Amino acid sequence: MNELLVFVCEGAPVRGEIVSIGSAWQAVLARRNDPPVIRQILGDFVAAATLLSASLKFDGTLIIQAQSQGPISLLVVECRSDLTMRATVKLSVEPEAINPNAALADLLDAGNTGRLVITLDPSDRQPGQAPYQGIVALQQDLGGHITPVQSAAEAIMLYMRHSEQLETRIWLASSEEKVGGLLLQRLPNSGGHIHLDPQTAAEGWNRIQALGETITNSELLELNPDTILRRLFLNESTESGVRAFPKRPVHFACRCSRQKVADVLRMLGEAEVNGILAEQGAVETGCEFCGKTYRFDAVDCIQVFKTDLLIDATRPPSSGH
């Protein structure tokens, strides 16, 4: 099951999404060997990125990056507007040194260094035009006390509150088999074919939030989105019920290619690449997202720097990809 369901509440200013990802999440894990606590955090951010990407109003990519000087130095999840996604994580310590009971704050905010970066990158972005990027620290002010966020859900809600200024609630769950999530966002009081007075809108938002609070991790991981929707809003009246849109499929897809690696080699420069060839006999690099290995021998590298067009700048490799 790899699907996302979008719905709106007819009697409340709320838009919602439910995602359940199975085999696509397994495709991410098949290429990794991270400790369970790292997989759990990565899975939560995969669910979050998929939920946020569903509301993109352009063809492009949403990228979640979490950076710190802690055991997780970098976590990246990319999800396109067509809900194809990929994910990776880099550790600054050996996997066996990770505390199996560590919290997100221990792994991503050591020394208050954690940062969450969300980038929106349209496919038609012009050369020189920077993508939109929002950055928040992984700490929040609770009554004058600065405390680290404790979960991926808290991190995303903190970002939405400070960068997007949207009232958002999100619940995330992940296991070795699946990841799941529920997102609720408050909409303007007027929109579509319904206008709500401020009091009715506030009451509706509070009511839908309260229903969302009843979701459990096991339900997010075990139930499909249709069942979750019925379970949450079973007692809503017809007037204030929900309207669901057709479900959308979620896929794992990596965009790495031999051409892109050739681009990187050109950026490194011919002198540095020749130095690697002299030392190692070939240039090898692996994709951090899908694990593919790309090998460029001396002839390949000559072609990289002698070819102006990189559509097919290198001959097919004799080994690797």
Q: Which helix (H) or strand (E) holds 173?
A: strand 168-174
Residues 296 and 210 in one domain: no
Residues 34 and 117 in one domain: yes
* Domain assignment of residue 50, yes or no: yes
Q: What tens digit of pLDDT does each residue of 234-266 get?
A: 765 445 578 899 999 999 998 888 888 888 888
d(Cα 94, Cα 41) in Å, to the nearest integer? Answer: 17
* Domain assignment of residue 107, yes or no: yes
Q: What tens digit of pLDDT does each residue of 164-205 get?
A: 778 999 999 999 999 999 999 998 865 444 677 888 888 889
Residues 48 and 128 in one domain: yes
CA 260, distance to chain mean position in Å, is 22
Residues 136 and 167 in one domain: yes
What length is written for the chain?
321
Q: How many Cβ atoms sit within 10 Å of the Cβ of residue 59?
A: 11
Residues 48 and 99 in one domain: yes
Query: Among 291, 247, 292, 288, which residue's Cα sits nearest to residue 77?
Result: 288
Specify the number of domains making up the chain.
Answer: 2
Residues 210 and 296 in one domain: no
Q: What is the DSSP letter of 84?
A: E
Whether the per-residue pLDDT at 318 is higher than 80: the answer is no
Query: Among 61, 78, 76, which residue's Cα sits nearest to residue 115?
Result: 76
Q: For the ranges 26-40, 126-140, 164-178, which has the lowest average pLDDT?
A: 126-140
Domain with residue 107: its CATH number is 3.55.30.10
Quick one: tokens of 165? 């200024």
pLDDT value of residue 252: 95
d(Cα 167, Cα 162) in Å, to the nearest integer? Answer: 10
Q: Please answer whether residues 179 and 49 qualify as being in contact, where contact means their C-beta atoms are separated by less than 8 angstroms.
A: no
- Enclosing domain of residue 294: 258-306
Q: What tens digit of pLDDT does each residue of 267-317 get?
A: 888 899 999 999 999 898 888 888 888 899 898 888 888 865 444 444 444
Mean pLDDT, the chain, whole residue set: 87
Quick one: what percent of the chain has pLDDT higher than 90?
Answer: 51
From 252, 273, 292, give the residue that closes a domain: 252
User: What is the rounded average pLDDT of the residues 15-39?
Assistant: 93
Q: Please answer whether residues 116 and 135 qualify as being in contact, where contact means their C-beta atoms are separated by less than 8 angstroms.
A: yes
pLDDT value of residue 321: 45
pLDDT value of residue 234: 73
Burial of 95 (0-12, 13-18, 19+ CB in 10 A): exposed
User: What is the rounded average pLDDT of the residues 23-45?
Assistant: 93
Residues 263 and 238 in one domain: no
- Reading across the β-sheet that carries 132-137, which strands appear in turn? 132-137, 115-122, 60-67, 72-80, 84-91, 251-252
Q: What tens digit of pLDDT does each residue of 89-100 get?
A: 999 999 999 999
Quick one: tokens of 229? 């929707």
Dihedral sign of CA atoms 216, 222, 228, 230 in order: negative
Burial of 99 (0-12, 13-18, 19+ CB in 10 A): exposed
Core vs surface per residue 212-251: b (16+ CB within 10 A) or e: beebeeebbbbbebeebbeebbeebeeebebebeebbebe
CA atoms within 13 A on the CB side of 256: 17
Give the amino acid at 221: L
* Domain assignment of residue 315, yes or no: no
Residues 299 and 243 in one domain: no
Quick one: tokens of 7? 């719905």
Quick one: tokens of 266? 């050109």
Residues 77 and 187 in one domain: yes
User: What is the rounded average pLDDT of the residues 126-134?
Assistant: 85
* Domain assignment of residue 51, yes or no: yes
* Domain assignment of residue 318, yes or no: no
Residues 52 and 107 in one domain: yes
Angle at which helices 270-280 and 258-268 pack, to 10 degrees?
110
User: What is the rounded average pLDDT of the residues 197-215?
Assistant: 90
Q: For the ranges 39-53, 211-225, 301-315, which has the lowest average pLDDT?
A: 301-315
Q: For the ranges 65-69, 149-153, 304-308, which has the lowest average pLDDT?
A: 304-308
Residues 199 and 276 in one domain: no
Residues 174 and 211 in one domain: yes
pLDDT value of residue 193: 43
Q: For the ranges 17-21, 71-75, 158-162, 163-167, which has the lowest average pLDDT?
A: 163-167
* Domain assignment of residue 321, yes or no: no
